Structure 1
Amino acid sequence: MADSVKLCALTFDDGPDNIKTQRVLNVLQKHNVLATFFLVGSRVNEQTKAVINKMIRLGCEVANHSWDYERLNTVSAEVVSQKFTRTQEAIKKYAGVEAKFFRPPNLAVSQTMYEAIPLPFAEGVLGFDWAGCNTTAQDRAQKVLAGIDDGAIILLHDVQPDPHPTPEALDILIPELKKQGYQFVTLSELFKRKGVDPASRKGSMWKYVR
């Protein structure tokens, strides 16, 4: 049965990074909310193991954001499968869990990708926080608030070049959404509480779960 409470899922791309991801985790801890981190496989290693373990300890979820930042929509099924699988294996090794969701680099998709990758694809309400010094914390928070709705997946980045005020944007966004009656859940929990099978939309990406 679907949950009657307003829900949203914070998600973060392009990490992990020992300094920048930690800044995001600190804000999440302060506000007592969970998130889902889409990890880049080549960054998942012994050097970042501690921050990945902290995500898991806090109750956050980790997911697959391919091996590197290369778009996959113009490469072969073999390359897609290789990069996806290497990332799954790295996450399993260093996080101790199986990633259940995939987000394509640059949100670029193809039919080949949908056929080669066996996980549900997720996009999200964009904070446009890859725009560097062109956007402030307030800008980023307002972009998300403009697209928010019950069941929204929110797409932000824990890792981008400095200046990168997304942690500051969270200090604006999280209290405002709580004031509006939203609860923050992981991606898996969002589907569970909405009573929706994440595998039910093959060939497209989830932005809202309803």
Structure 2
Amino acid sequence: MSENKRNGRHGKKQNLFQKAAPVLIGTVVLLLAAVALYGVFQANRGKLSANQTGNAQVKKEQAPSSDTTKDQEEKTAASETTTSKTNDNDEDVEAATKDSKKLRVAKGKNHNEAAKDYAYDPKWVQDVVDGRAVNDGQRLCFLTFDDGVNHEVTPQILDVLKKEQVHATFFVVGNTIGDKTKDILERQISEGNSIGIHSFDHDYDKLYPGRTADSSRIAKEAEDTQAALKKQLGQDFQTTSWRYPGGHMSWHNMVQADDALAAQGLHWVDWNAMSGDAEPASTRPKTADEMVAYQEKSITEYPDVKLRVVLMHDAADKQVTVAALPRIIQFYRDKGFKFGILE
């Protein structure tokens, strides 16, 4: 073949290649671009799938299972029950505290903690009765009972006081105090009453030989009775009220006896109203009606000082006093008296 023909053919091939080359290059570029885009798509798809899986896992972890929800509900219910029990316990503690105040003797007193609001100094009370002091407040009445303590009449008196919701002072005789009467003494305290001393033996001949006060004997009986009360009611017990058997006004040489009592922190208290239940048999009221009338008449014998100390007794034979007591209480209520106790 001639050289010209070969050169012609070669030229034609070269021209065809030159014309096809751009197309081939474009196609390759497009293929490469497509491959790159596909790779990016696959990568993004993987990330999206991973994110969805992660979010689902987080939601799964955050969402409580039915068992967890049940446990939480049970814990909540238990917590509410505990709170309820705690509140109930608080109420029980408060009630127990109140009961404790009633049962417990106030330190250094002759009554419980709850009675402090209506307890009065016996010296001030006697000073008002005698005109040495003035009651410029509400009219006051002090119901007092001598000669106990016993299981016959004292509990009946306490029953009436509790029913009428008033309180009194019991002047007890030392030789009646012991294990057998401890329950009555404790009841007197727990129900808001107070306890004073009325000697140890209640023997006029020993206390006032020849009608003259024996100060040493009186001091000894006061000391012994205080000790007997402490033995039964605890060492916190301490009364400051004393009533002379027969009354302060009935005997001679009382200054030394008064001083001897004062040295023990005691002060005597008499009365300015009477039920008449210790009068001689010939003049003693025989019925509740007679006793109420006697009591009402007795107050006319003393000045009206807006304060009354009522003398009564809770010895074993004082059934008329028990019967008359509700009406005596009502008598003072009707006249606007507030009831108090002596410390």
TM-score by length of 1: 0.81
The answer to whether residue 158 in structure 2 is matched with residue 14 in structure 1 is no
Structure having the higher Rg? 2
Letter in 2 for 1:29: K
The structure richer in strand per residue is 1
Counterpart in the other structure of 1:81: 219
Counterpart in the other structure of 2:239: 99
| 3-state SS, counterpart of residue 242 of structure 2 | coil
The answer to whether residue 228 in structure 2 is matched with residue 90 in structure 1 is yes
How far is 1:151 from its partner?
A: 1.2
CA contact (8 A) 1:35 1:60 kept: yes
How far is 1:76 from its partner?
A: 3.3
Letter in 2 for 1:99: T
The answer to whether residue 270 in structure 2 is matched with residue 123 in structure 1 is yes
CA contact (8 A) 1:63 1:101 kept: yes
| 3-state SS, counterpart of residue 105 of structure 1 | coil
CA contact (8 A) 1:17 1:159 kept: yes
Query: Among residues 155, 163, 178, which one is paired with 2:311 in the alignment?
Result: 155
Letter in 2 for 1:153: V
Deviating more after overlay: 57-66 vs 115-124: 115-124
Query: Among residues 34, 42, 58, which one is paired with 2:191 in the alignment?
Result: 58
Deviating more after overlay: 38-47 vs 137-146: 137-146
Separation in 2, partners of 1:180, 1:156: 19
Counterpart in the other structure of 1:69: 202
The answer to whether residue 162 in structure 2 is matched with residue 29 in structure 1 is yes
Separation in 1, partners of 2:154, 2:171: 11
The structure richer in helix per residue is 2
CA contact (8 A) 1:60 1:186 kept: yes
Unmatched runs of 5 consecutive residues or more in structure 2: 1-133
Unmatched runs of 5 consecutive residues or more in structure 1: 189-210
How far is 1:15 from its partner?
A: 0.1
How far is 1:73 from its partner?
A: 2.7
Counterpart in the other structure of 1:192: none
CA contact (8 A) 1:130 1:160 kept: no
How far is 1:23 from its partner?
A: 0.6
How far is 1:137 from its partner?
A: 1.8
1:129-208 matched pairs, under 5 angstroms: 129-131=277-279, 134-135=284-285, 136-148=287-299, 149=304, 150-161=306-317, 164-188=319-343
Q: CA RMSD in A?
A: 2.0
CA contact (8 A) 1:40 1:66 kept: yes
Letter in 1 for 2:341: T
Deviation digits for residues 126-166 of structure 1, max 9, x if unmatched? 2210246841222222232234442111110011535x310
Separation in 1, partners of 2:142, 2:215: 30
Matched residues, percent identical?
Answer: 29
Separation in 1, partners of 2:316, 2:221: 21
Separation in 2, partners of 1:111, 1:4: 30
Deviating more after overlay: 22-31 vs 140-149: 140-149
TM-score by length of 2: 0.51
